[in-house]
Amino acid sequence: MAAVKNINVYILILCMTKTLVVADSSSLIISAKAHIIEIMCREFDLLIPEAVFNESVVSGKALEKPDAAIISQMVNGNKIRVKSAVFEGNRGAQAIAADFRLGKGESEAIALFLQEEADLLLVDDRKGIGVSKALEISWATVPDMIVYLKRAEKLSYDSAIMAIDACQKEGRYKIGFIMRAIQSLESGVKK
């Protein structure tokens, strides 16, 4: 699939069908904290690699994180699928981690995206976004997803603003990501 410059338009096009989305750990955790994960699971075929499951659920439960329980419930209810990513080889997680110095979750998410020929990578890590751009992978952040959900009328304006606020508080987003999302919500979107 060719790289798309305007990711918000791309998300709108993809969501006309059940789109395969692979998520990294921080995106999954922030989606749970922003209270949009259930909506995302209805709109998309959400897939995560084992490393993301371990980082977001296993480690999260050990730290008694409420988002870990939410994600675990979605996995147990078959709303989020967990799948092994190819570890070795040219496009495997090991090669991606070594080539780009990514963490295990991000490298497995990218490897799984490539392996499954997914439609979209939900990624919030700066390095992960850079690698996605370099590999011409179609990617989005949680704020992008919130804007899509509002435009698709799956989320109210007030809920979208609260979700963006959660992203700002819980995520490590540059202010530009947050401001673009708010501007997108404000311009041409019915309140």
Residues 6+ apart with CB under 8 A from 156: 150
- AA identity, residue 26: S
Count of structural domains, the chain: 1
User: Residue 83: its pLDDT value, please?
Assistant: 95
Q: Where are the beta strands (DSSP E) in 24-160?
A: 44-49, 80-83, 120-122, 139-140
Higher pLDDT, 71 or 88: 71
Domain interval for residue 108: 7-186
Report the CATH number that the domain containing residue 112 is assigned in CATH: 3.40.50.1010
Note whether residue 107 is domain-resident: yes
Q: What is the edge-to-edge ordering of all strands in the sheet holding 44-49?
A: 80-83, 44-49, 19-23, 120-122, 139-140
Structure-model confidence comparison of residues 89 and 45, the more confident one: 45
Amino acid at the residue 178: I
State the average pLDDT over residues 107-126. Answer: 91
Rounded mean pLDDT of 46-72? 95
Within a domain: 31: yes
Residue keyed to tokens 């490539």: 114
Task: Pick the more confident residue, 100 or 80.
Answer: 80
| Residue-averaged pLDDT of the chain | 85
3-state secondary structure of 169: helix
Q: Output the DSSP codes for 31-69.
A: HHHTT-HHHHHHHEEEEEEHHHHIIIIIHHHHTT-HHHH
Number of neighbouring beta carbons within 10 Å of residue 123:
28
Residue 1 lies in a domain: no
pLDDT for res 191 = 44
Closest by CA position to 93, among listed 68, 76, 110, 70: 110
Return the pLDDT at 178.
86
pLDDT at 9 over 70: no
